Amino acid sequence: MNRPYTICYLNLSAEGHIDGEFMKSPAAAKTTEVFRQRWLEMGADAILYGAVTMAMFAQGRLKEPLPEKGPLPRQDYKAPCSMDRYYIAMDPKGSIAYEGPCIDTRGRGPHGVIHVLTENVADSYLHYLREKGISYIFCGKEKLDPVTMMEKAHSLFGLQKVIRSGGAYTDWTLLSQGLIDELQFMLAPVVDGNPEAHTLFRRMPGMEPGVVELELVWAETVAGHGLLITYRPKDARENAGMEKGGWE
């Protein structure tokens, strides 16, 4: 299978929360700084986000309906403005607003966008993406197919390494499909007991129960009394993105 080497990289409280009050705690500041620096050092070709997170990096959600336009074929579209690095936006029905073809925020440098859609998206949104100079790929008719998504990320855009960083439902979907090669968890030395906070992984309602076995690869203490833990899933699909082992 030709797909990018994919790393699930998360900043957590010591109790396994991926969001909540702990992120604002001074006690988590040093480990968060290390987390961000290691992110940049990974040199990933792309960062994979769901619609909620991607909207925070773009221009939010579309506030008004788009004007109706003629039909467009359900064929993948690679925008003329190609980039070395991308955000992959999982937004199957099309809801994210963009200012233009590139996003440059949070000190990561300019990234293009690959918008992931299903075939039941409105034609008006396809016209919108083309007008903004944004590439898009189709990955399923009505339900998003993550395997196709990762194959096309490699075959159409040549992506070799992808970082995935939350949320819990998508992380579980990719992990359970064998599309995650490496898990890196940065544990900050804080807990908050927040009952509303999200955990690392969560199954969507109706998904088949399952267990993914992991192998411990490395554990490292970092500045600020943090702990970086690296695991390898035992059942990851073959990838074409990195040398065998990935972290070697």
Mean pLDDT calculated for residue range 58-70: 95
The answer to pTM > 0.95 is no
Give the pLDDT band (50/70/90) at residue 58.
very high
Is the per-residue pLDDT at 244 higher than 60? no
Kindly state the tokens that stand for 149. 């998504």
Lowest mean pLDDT among 12-26, 149-163, 175-189: 12-26
Per-residue pLDDT tens over the stretch 203-233: 888 888 889 999 999 999 999 999 999 999 9
Is the per-residue pLDDT at 243 higher than 60? no
Per-residue pLDDT tens over the stretch 109-141: 899 999 999 999 999 999 999 999 999 999 999
What pLDDT sits at residue 247? 37
Per-residue pLDDT tens over the stretch 25-38: 999 999 999 999 99
Per-residue pLDDT tens over the stretch 72-100: 999 999 998 778 899 999 999 999 999 99
Mean pLDDT calculated for residue range 156-177: 91
- Decide which of 195 and 136 is more confident: 136
